Copies of this chain bind each other. A is one copy, B any other.
Amino acid sequence: MIKVGIVGGTGYTGVELLRILVNHPDVELKVITSRSEDGLPVADMFPNLRGHTDLRFSVPDVQTLGECDVVFFATPHGVAHSLAEDILNTGARVIDLSADFRLQDAVEWEKWYGQPHGAPGLLPQAVYGLPEVNRAQIQEARLIAVPGCYPTSVQLGFLPLLENNLLPEQMLIADCKSGVSGAGRGASVGSLLCEASESMMAYAVKGHRHLPEIRQGMERAAGKAVNLTFVPHLTPMIRGIHSTLYAQAPGLAEDLQALYEARYANEPFVDVMPAGSHPATRSVKGSNVCRIAVHHHTHTGQVIVLSVIDNLVKGASGQAVQNMNIMFGLAEDAGLKQVALLP
């Protein structure tokens, strides 16, 4: 059994980690921390966990965490910067769900997050935890940066085009729609039911923190600079991201359906839908799957990719567990076989 700790368990990625891990066949949950809720049974805050765990929140403590085989960070950015090194020094591995180690360029990170990077020395060993790209490195990794939710859905949607150098034009567009859980469990007016339901709006059109992360991943795949426009939207639902991706590729003759199917044929968590499909986010609600459909308007040269995930699962906690499974040599889908809740 792998001994697991969680730092920061009171947010949505925290409770989602718990939902997955309490039923994971190879995991023993040892510790979950929260400074504000020290001593509170986790199931008192999240009653869905009643009967599944007796764990209580405790104040984060490096020694206790160091007795784990792996420690997940489900914290706001900046926290993992200050704690990860100490934990790594105990021999435990770290899987960070925050943005702290996603950008390889600390200067870029500081520009987007508006504060000094607290652990640039760890960046060389941080592996970007997108298994469909970095599976081999993940196996060896001691520090994983779990990709963001938008970046996961956008990269998986664009990868086959980029890797095969099929996009002669530079201008790519990712029009992304996210459920409100992406904004976290913090009390903010904009996330109130009365503000966010029965409405649709774009936000951060000027620039969103996930843009440099997406670009970094796309440029690695393309081997060149990529010009991406990314517009996120707040959608009146709890979970789900729907990314609608546009790429102008006049004259493109490839069979994109076959290309996508081949690229993801061995991926346990990427499902290329039949030609002509329109995946709905509810088809992945609560599951770790990314479903993709590729459309090609040959008369206009426009390629349209539809990519859906559950932002809290494949976009966060599920992908984190997938990384853990790979790191520890478990079945990659251990604990991740949940069928999406439909309806």
User: Judging by beta carbons under 8 Å apart, are B50 and A238 in contact?
Assistant: no
The B-contacting residues of A in range 107-166, CB under 8 angstroms, are none
User: Judging by beta carbons under 8 Å apart, are B194 and A240 in contact?
Assistant: no
Contacting residue for A196 out of B15, B171, B193, B283, CB 8 A: B193
**Cβ of A342 < 8 Å from any Cβ of B?**
yes
Binds B, one of A65-73, A97-105, A216-224, A229-237: A229-237
User: Judging by beta carbons under 8 Å apart, are A297 and B199 in contact?
Assistant: no
User: Judging by beta carbons under 8 Å apart, are A337 and B280 in contact?
Assistant: no
Known: A191-B194, A200-B235, A205-B295. Contact between A304 and B12, CB under 8 A?
no
Contacting residue for A171 out of B187, B192, B302, CB 8 A: B302
User: Judging by beta carbons under 8 Å apart, are B193 and A287 in contact?
Assistant: no
**Cβ of A253 < 8 Å from any Cβ of B?**
no
Binds B, one of A26-34, A87-95, A173-181: A173-181
In the complex, the chain B residue whose C-beta lies closest to that of A282 is B199
The B-contacting residues of A in range 297-339, CB under 8 angstroms, are 297, 300-302, 304, 306, 308, 312, 337-339
**Cβ of A202 < 8 Å from any Cβ of B?**
yes
Binds B, one of A41-49, A56-64, A74-82, A255-263: A41-49
Contacting residue for A181 out of B49, B300, B343, CB 8 A: B343
**Cβ of A3 < 8 Å from any Cβ of B?**
no
The B-contacting residues of A in range 241-275, CB under 8 angstroms, are 242, 244, 246, 248, 271, 273
Contacting residue for A47 out of B18, B50, B291, CB 8 A: B291
Contacting residue for A242 out of B202, B240, B295, CB 8 A: B202
Q: Determine the chain B residues whose CB is within 8 A of the CB of A175 once the complex forms.
A: 175, 244, 246
Q: Complex: how many Å from CA A229 to CA B240? A: 24
Q: Determine the chain B residues whose CB is within 8 A of the CB of A210 once the complex forms.
A: none
Q: Determine the chain B residues whose CB is within 8 A of the CB of A343 once the complex forms.
A: 12, 15, 181, 185, 194-195, 238-239, 312
Q: Complex: how many Å from CA A81 to CA B177? A: 38
User: Judging by beta carbons under 8 Å apart, are B173 and A246 in contact?
Assistant: yes
**Cβ of A279 < 8 Å from any Cβ of B?**
yes
Contacting residue for A341 out of B22, B276, B341, CB 8 A: B341
Q: Determine the chain B residues whose CB is within 8 A of the CB of A246 once the complex forms.
A: 173, 175, 229, 246
Please name 25 pairs of A and B residues whose Cβ atoms are closer than 8 Å in the assembled complex, sorted by A: A12-B194, A19-B339, A22-B339, A23-B337, A46-B342, A48-B282, A48-B285, A48-B339, A48-B342, A173-B246, A175-B244, A177-B177, A187-B192, A192-B192, A197-B197, A197-B237, A198-B285, A200-B235, A200-B281, A201-B242, A202-B242, A202-B278, A202-B306, A205-B278, A229-B246
With A47-B273, A47-B283, A193-B238 already in contact, 7 other A-B pairs whose C-beta atoms are closer than 8 Å:
A15-B343, A177-B200, A185-B192, A193-B196, A199-B237, A200-B308, A286-B286
